[in-house]
Amino acid sequence: MNGMMMESQLTLTAVMRRALCNSPDSEVISVTLDNPLHRYSYKQAFARAAQLAQVLCMLGANRGDRIGTLAWNDHRHFELYYATSCSGLVCHTINPRLFPEQIHYIIEHAEDRWLFIDPLFVPLIESLEDKLSTVEGVIVLTDRAHMPDSKLANYYCYEDLLVNQPSSFQWPDLREESAAALCYTSGTTGNPKGVLYSHRAMALHTYGVLMPDAFAIRRDEAILPVVPMFHVNAWSIPYAAPAVGAKLVLPGPSMGCGETLSKLIRQESVTIAAGVPTVWLALLKYLRNSKETLPSLNRVVVGGSACPWSIMEEFEQQHGVYTHHAWGMSEMSPLGTYNARIAPSIAPKEAKKLRLKQGRAGFGVEMRIVGPQENPLPHNGTAFGALQVRGPWICERYFKSEESALTTDGWFDTGDVATIDSLGYLTITDRTKDVIKSGGEWISSIELENFAMTLEGVAEAAVIGVTHEKWAERPLLLVVLETGVKLKPDKILSTFQGQFAKWWIPDDCIIIDELPHTATGKISKKDLRQKFSEHLWPQEITV
Ligand code: ADP
């Protein structure tokens, strides 16, 4: 027997309607290239999204067409999110930090019809123009006064196109399964793959993000996503903030600038901010030098890579800011787990252990770990295996792929290696491809890195497996020191003694000026493995 409830589609249009109804005056603040502090309300934002939807119709965009964006976090990108998705088009956000060949591949594969780009990216698109077979024109996200000169065909100014367009639009009734957004994974192996998000997945994921044991954003808060809107929809924050009517603060191209972040947090009374560890390193460094404080900031969400304890400690001790560790991936929209506030009654040593874990899956994500034969492993905090997930906001297949991306019994393999404890806490021990296989046993590169990052004077650390005749692979530690610090590799290695089993301890340590990062801000272990593939081990290794 079926239930007898109303059929109501879960769409992003409902998010827009709700913001217009309940929070029309809540603000969206942006840093853009043409305005250091743009400020308007959700009411104005969605009126402009309606104007933009008219423009997209005029340009001949049809249901399901992909509209590419190459843009930072600002109000125009926000307008694009809603104008495209809510009119039945697909908002295809492109990561400008990728190599030009990858950007070319992605635009061709997605068959983008129009590109909306920040002025900064005009030269990039000019360099690719001859090779773009589906793109009909380029719209630059700025006003007439800031339009860069270009010979690009069908080249328009965003603000010119919006002028005189009606500020209301007949938003279509969309089915919840229709595609809303498209984002390609950075493709650390092989070509990038497109994750095609549906309205339903985005709406449910928005609920997931807003849950009390997740971001728990309230209407009277201000949120600063320092995660780019060009990667996994900025963790859904541009949907979650208007859904509850919170103020949205968008840092534009200044995401890596500690000074701008501090200024925005203080001026706009930001209460919650979200980003990868590297942006917090930049902010904390700025705060250390400037002696500024962040009185309004209550919590930061850190994900994308393991969050070092040093970040959590400095935020809490110096600024009274609680750090929540979260884990996810493009294929999961991205939220998988969230480490909610640990009860004050838990002893500090135990609390630290828990907080370094990636957290627990909220309602909407199920997780399991499996062994080499896909045999489910116990959730006892020690067994570790391939992490698999399932749920309504997890990818079933990649864009244009005929094949399902799932295991035969319907789980998505994340490519991560993890443990899960009896209370459901997840600990990522590695990426499947980064785990170090020494003499048939696995060594977690993340655990070694986390430890190295706690050492005084260490700014960043990476551990990679390098070929070894006898052991197949052995761990090599690469360290970037803080400016002015002098530390000998042997001294660093000696600190690992007694902290790990002997056979886990790296056999060599190299101090380097900087570590390579991927387009999404993670340490590129692929590049490091290539660079150090010929590394000569210092002596015979007995473990
Ligand atoms: P891409 O799809 O571009 O590779 P994602 O942003 O989807 O990048 O990255 C997902 C991966 O990032 C996860 O599978 C995991 O390996 C890593 N990751 C994300 N959050 C964390 C975290 N909190 N701790 C450790 N690793 C993380």
Confidence (pLDDT) at 203? 98
* Of the candidates 169, 7, 152, the residue with the CA atom closest to the CA atom of residue 83: 169
CATH code where residue 469 lies: 3.30.300.30
Print the domain residue range for 183. 8-24+35-197
Residue 444, ligand 1, Cβ within 6 A: no
Q: What is the CATH number of the domain that holds 140?
A: 3.40.50.12780
Q: What percent of the chain has pLDDT over 90?
A: 87
Confidence of residue 541 (pLDDT cuts 50, 70, 90): low
The residue among 141, 165, 197 that closes a domain is 197
Question: Could you read off the pLDDT of 60-88 as tens digits, one per residue?
Answer: 999 999 999 999 999 999 999 999 999 99
> Catalytic: which of 331, 447, 449, 460?
331
From the list 58, 68, 144, the residue with the least C-alpha distance to 107 is: 68
pLDDT per position as a tens digit, 473-515 = 999 999 999 989 999 999 999 999 999 989 999 999 999 999 9
Which pLDDT belongs to residue 187? 61
> Does 58 reside within a domain?
yes
Ligand 1: residue of 184, 232, 302, 305 to mutate (most ligand atoms within 8 A of CB) is 305
Confidence of residue 543 (pLDDT cuts 50, 70, 90): low
Residue 437 annotated in active site: yes
pLDDT of residue 7: 92
Last residue of a domain, one of 197, 221, 239: 197
> Is 412 a member of any domain?
no
pLDDT at 191 over 90: no
Domain ends where: 146, 170, 197? 197
* Annotated active-site residue in 131, 400, 433, 437: 437
Ligand 1 centroid distance, CA of 145 (Å): 40
Q: Which residues contact 494 (CB under 8 A, 6 or more apart)?
A: none
Q: Is the pLDDT reported for residue 243 higher than 90?
A: yes
Residue 533 burial (C-beta neighbours within 10 Å; 0-12, 13-18, 19+): exposed
Does 227 map to a domain? no
Element holding 346 (H helix, E strand): none
pLDDT the model gives residue 407: 96
Q: Which of 297, 442, 429 is nearest to 356 (CA)?
A: 429
From 182, 179, 232, select the one nearest 209 (Cα to Cα): 232
Whole-number pLDDT of residue 440: 79
Q: Using pLDDT thresholds of 50, 70 and 90, give the confidence band for residue 315.
A: very high
Q: Could you read off the pLDDT of 353-399 as tens digits, one per residue?
A: 999 999 999 999 999 999 988 999 999 999 989 999 999 999 999 99
- Residue 469: predicted pLDDT: 85
Question: How many domains does the chain contain in total?
Answer: 2
Q: Is the pLDDT of residue 188 over 70?
A: no
Residue 467 lies in a domain: yes
User: What are the two backbone dihedrals, phi and then psi, of residue 483, each rounded to the nearest 5 degrees?
Assistant: -55, 130
Is 144 in a helix, a strand, or coil? helix
Distance separating alpha carbons of residues 322 and 387, to the nearest angstrom: 27
- 234 touches ligand 1 (CB under 6 Å): no
Is residue 114 annotated as part of the catalytic site, yes or no?
no
Asked if 486 is an active-site residue, the reply is no
Residue 116 has a CB neighbour count (10 Å cut-off) of 26
Rounded to 10°, the helix 75-85/42-58 angle is 60
On the question of pLDDT at 539 being above 90, the answer is no
Mean pLDDT in residue range 392-413: 97
Residue 296 lies in a domain: no
Q: Is residue 153 part of a domain?
A: yes
Give the mean pLDDT of the chain.
95
User: Residue 441 and residue 240: Cα distance in Å, rounded?
Assistant: 43
- Look at residue 141 and tell me if it is in a domain: yes
Domain annotation covers residue 287: no
Query: Is residue 235 in contact with ligand 1, taking CB distance under 6 Å?
Result: no
Q: Is 483 exposed, middle or buried (0-12, 13-18, 19+ CB in 10 A)?
A: exposed
